[in-house]
């Protein structure tokens, strides 16, 4: 049986408040985004980057892949771990790219190539059939063996060409619902605007009580 990790700053994996969690990603954009969102729930909680080997993400759902990554990061660091598996689900494509969003144009994880391929595949599709949603499934795993997943859904539709310089991934072509008549892509949102309403923010609303109790 593994013993709870005791954080050198006073936190523990099973008892006292912890001061750090590791985010199971090497993506600096995601670390910054998670830190901004976590700060609204636990401003004392530092999100640190994962520096270990990448596990094989062979799950067939967002939840399975998130748990695979969180388990690996917690085991490697001895810290509570968060992992996000997210992607864009295009309804006319039966929910694809889905869990393959990061690799849609190949294993190089090239955002521009992924976006260009998806636009090409939808080139003959017009509204109202360009609906899609972002899915974020976040897993939390502690050294003490607690595992939990939550899900956030952000509905919208896809533009016919990229707009804006902000965000990453498919953000420049995703136009969220509920903008009161505005037609901005997430690429035209500020980071603050995106972090307040995104699929990850929605998942964190469900995760908040668990973070507060860490």
Active site residues: 85
Was 26 annotated as part of a binding site?
A: yes
Q: Is 120 annotated as a binding residue?
A: no
Q: Is 91 annotated as a binding residue?
A: no
Letter string b/e over residues 10-49, b meaning 16 or more CB atoms within 10 A of that residue's CB: ebbbbeeebbbbbbbbebeebbebbbbbbeeebeebebeb
The answer to whether the annotation marks 185 as part of a ligand binding site is: no
30 is in an annotated binding site: yes
C-beta of residue 187 within 8 angstroms of C-beta of residue 163:
yes
Using a 10 angstrom Cβ sphere, with 0-12 exposed, 13-18 middle and 19 or more buried, the burial of residue 189 is buried
Asked whether residue 109 is marked as a ligand-binding residue, the answer is no
Return phi, psi of residue 93, to 5°: -100, 15
* DSSP codes, 93-116: GTT-BGGGGGGTT-TT--HHHHHH
135 labeled part of a ligand binding site: no
129 is in an annotated binding site: no
Q: Whose CA is closest to 169, among 33, 9, 20? A: 33
Q: Is 171 marked as binding a ligand?
A: yes
Binding residues: 25-30, 85-86, 168-171, 194, 199-200
Binding residues for substrate: 25-30, 86, 168-171, 194, 199-200
Binding residues for Mg(2+): 85
């Amino acid at each position: 049986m593994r013993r709870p990790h005791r954080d050198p700053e006073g936190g523990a994996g099973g008892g006292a408040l912890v001061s750090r969690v590791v985010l199971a990603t090497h993506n600096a954009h995601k670390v910054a985004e998670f830190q901004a969102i976590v700060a609204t729930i636990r401003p004392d909680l530092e999100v640190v980057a994962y520096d270990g080997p990448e596990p094989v993400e062979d799950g067939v759902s967002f939840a399975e892949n998130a748990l695979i990554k969180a388990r690996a990061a917690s085991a490697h660091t001895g810290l509570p771990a968060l992992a996000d598996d997210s992607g864009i689900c295009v309804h006319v494509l039966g929910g694809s790219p889905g869990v393959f969003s990061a690799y849609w144009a190949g294993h190089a994880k090239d955002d521009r190539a992924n976006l260009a391929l998806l636009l090409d595949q939808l080139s003959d599709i017009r509204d109202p059939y360009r609906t899609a949603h972002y899915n974020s499934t976040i897993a939390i795993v502690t050294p003490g063996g607690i595992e939990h997943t939550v899900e956030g859904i952000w509905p919208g539709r896809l533009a016919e060409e990229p707009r804006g310089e902000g965000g990453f991934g498919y953000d420049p072509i995703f136009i969220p619902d509920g903008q009161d008549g505005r037609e901005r892509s997430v690429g035209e949102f500020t980071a603050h605007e995106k972090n307040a309403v995104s699929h990850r923010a929605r998942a964190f609303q469900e995760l908040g009580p668990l973070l507060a109790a860490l």
